[in-house]
Every structure is written in structure tokens, then in C-alpha cells.
A and B are shown apart, each in its own frame.
Chain A
Amino acid sequence: MTIVEFILNEFRDEAPATRRVLERIPSDKLSWKPHPKSRSLGELAMHVANLHGLAENIAKSDEFAARAGSPAVPGSVQEIRAAFEKNVRAGEEALRNLSEQAAMENWKLVYQGKELFRKTRVAALRTNLLNHLYHHRGQLSVYLRLLDVPVPVVYGPTADENPFV
């Protein structure tokens, strides 16, 4: 298996768990947050959905220009889920067409015209897309717990669901 295939498989295999988490988001709690310094539920879920868009960006572009300002606030759960589904589809397609050679070329993050860092595409996919995503999906699972929503299985049993029995 090539590195790109490994990343593509992981991107595809992780999507159902993320979808399960996003499907549980209560539509009337989007502005809820566990602490004044925290992202709201809606902001965090939208961030998770939008993060998937990095797959297409990293595969096809040389850089990503990060925007200044506040996080995106979704108007509805449908908006979050639609963004997620669109980004997953586009990401899979872009990763399928990513050559091993292009994967080893650099991609950079730019903010206000200034380069923040550069790394190979494959490193950016690993760190800035996938690992970063697992972190925020974990945060979302705590938000669901605090809102008394049954927490779906991601890697193993939760207090509500057990895939092994």
C-alpha cells in the first residue's frame, strides 16, 4: 500500500464515525458551550465539517490561506452535515487522484500574506487534516455527553454503546 492509499483509506474509514457524531448533534443546542472560552457546539461541529475540506485543498493546491476572524457559525444542523458530506466526497476524489510524487511536494499555510509553515502534502494530510480532526471529534464527544446525548462508538465502546457485544 502506498502512503497516499493509506491516507485515502483512513480518510474514508473514519468518515462513518464522524458522521455518527455529527448526526447526534441536537439542533436546539448549537449555541451551547461548556465554558465561556470554549467554541460553541455549532462552531465546533462546523469546524469538524469544514476541516474535511482540507483534503481537497492539500491535494490540489500549493497553499491554504487561513482567514482571520471568528469561527464559522452554522445556521442549522443540516448546514453542518451538508458541508461534511460535500467535503468528504470532494476529498476522496482529490486523494484518489493525488500522485505519490505530488504527495511528497510542499504545501504551505499562509496567513495575511505571510507563510506560517510549509511541509509535504502527505505530512499536512496526516497532521493538519486527520490527527487534528480526531482531536476535535473527541471534544465533540464530550459536548454530546454533557448535553445528555448518547455518545456513538468511534474507536471503542462508549458508556452507551458497545460494538463488541
Chain B
Amino acid sequence: MSIAQSMLKEFEIQAPITRRFLERLPEDKLMWKPHEKSMTAGQLAFHLAVVPAGVVRLVQNNPAQAPEFSKTDRFPQPANRQEILKSFDESIAAVRNLLPQFDDAAMSETWRLLAGEREVLAQPRAEFLRDVMLSHWYQHRGQFSVYLRMLGAAVPASWGPSADEPPLFMQNAQAAHVG
């Protein structure tokens, strides 16, 4: 299995779990935040939705130019949950389309990120995808789980059980048993 295929396989397992987190966000809590310095629940959910596509598109060019964000458009506030889910589904499609186009040589080559003329990052493309498309995404999903908990929503199981749901391997076994 190529590096891209193994990353895509992991993404295909995790994307439906992330979607379940996004679906649980109460429609009337998109402006809620746990602390004045925090992102709102809507901003954090939208960030989770758009990160995979944003990262996989960013690594298409080498070197790539770091996007210039102002404070407000870096973390846009979505209007409703539908907008979040639609963006997420587009994100999944972009990863499915673009990620497998990288062969192992492209994944191993040094990828550079520039801010203007200045180089801000230089690392193997696979490492950047691992860190920012996946690990950083998991970190935010973990943050979002605390948001859901504080909002009184049921927290989905992810890497293990949550206080509301058994681990996924048990859910799968139960589904197989029932089915």
C-alpha cells in the first residue's frame, strides 16, 4: 500500500466519526463559546469541516504560498449546521480526489511553505499531511468533544468509549449481532 493509500484508508475511517461529532452540535449553539478567548462552537466545527480539503489543496504546489488570513476569515462563523456538513462533505470529496494522486516519491519529497519570500516550513510532504491534515484535526475534534459535553449533547465514541457510548469495535459487534 502506498503512503497516500494508507493515509486515505485512515481518513475514510475517521471522517464518518468526525461527521457524527458535527451532527451533534445543537443548531442553536453555533455562537456559544466556553471562554471569551475560545472559538465559537460554530467556528470550531467549521474548522474541522474545512481543514482536510484546505491542507490537501495547499500541498498541491511546491513551494506553496501560505494563505494570508485576516483574523475574521481564518475562522469563519457558519450560519447553520447544514453549511458545516456541506463543507465537510466537500472536504471529504477533495481528499478522495487529490490525496491518491501523490505517489511515494511525491510524498517523500521536501515540501516548502513560503510567506512571501520567506520559507516558513520545509519537511517531507507526507509529514506535513500527517501533522496538519490528521493529527491537528484530531486535536480539534478532541477540543470539540469538550464543547459537546458542556453543551449537554451526547459525545460520540471515537478512539475509545465516551461517557455516552461504548467503543466503536463494540458498536460494530452489536450491529453485526443484531443484523
Interface residues of A (CB under 8 A from B): 1, 6, 10, 14, 34-35, 37-38, 116-117, 126-128, 130-132, 134-139, 141-143, 145-146, 148, 154-156, 159-160, 164
Contact = CB atoms under 8 A, between A and B. Distances in A.
Nearest to A145: B35
Contacts of A136: 142
Contacts of A127: 159
A31 B109 CA distance: 47
Interface stretch (B22-30, B76-84, B86-94, B129-137): B129-137
B149 A34 contact: yes
A146 B35 contact: yes
A142 B135 contact: no
Given A131-B159, A135-B159, A155-B135, A37 B149 contact: yes
Given A131-B135, A132-B160, A145-B37, 4 more contacts: A10-B135, A35-B149, A127-B159, A142-B34
Contact of A134 (B34, B120, B138, B146): B138
Given A117-B169, A134-B142, A142 B147 contact: yes
Nearest to B35: A145
Given A127-B159, A146-B34, A116 B169 contact: yes
Contacts of B135: 10, 14, 130-131, 134, 155
| Interface core residue of B115, B124, B160 (most chain A CB under 10 Å) | B160
B136 A155 contact: yes
Interface of B: 10, 34-35, 37-38, 108, 115, 120, 124, 126-127, 130-132, 134-136, 138-143, 145-147, 149-150, 158-160, 163-164, 167, 169-170
A19 B104 CA distance: 32
B146 A142 contact: yes
Contact of A155 (B120, B132, B149, B159): B132
B139 to A, nearest CB: 4
A10 B147 contact: no
Contacts of B134: 131
B159 A142 contact: no
A49 B124 CA distance: 29
A98 B141 CA distance: 30
Shortest 7 CB-CB contacts between residues of A and residues of B:
A138-B142, A138-B139, A135-B142, A132-B159, A155-B136, A159-B37, A134-B138
Nearest to B74: A157
A54 to B, nearest CB: 12
Nearest to A158: B37
A131 B132 CA distance: 12
Q: Which of B38, B141, B146, B170 has the most CB of A within 10 A?
A: B146
B139 A137 contact: yes
A145 B10 contact: no
Nearest to B167: A116
A116 B132 CA distance: 31
A35 B142 CA distance: 15
Contact of A38 (B115, B136, B149, B167): B149
Contacts of A126: 10
Nearest to B139: A138
B138 A135 contact: yes
A5 to B, nearest CB: 12
B47 to A, nearest CB: 11
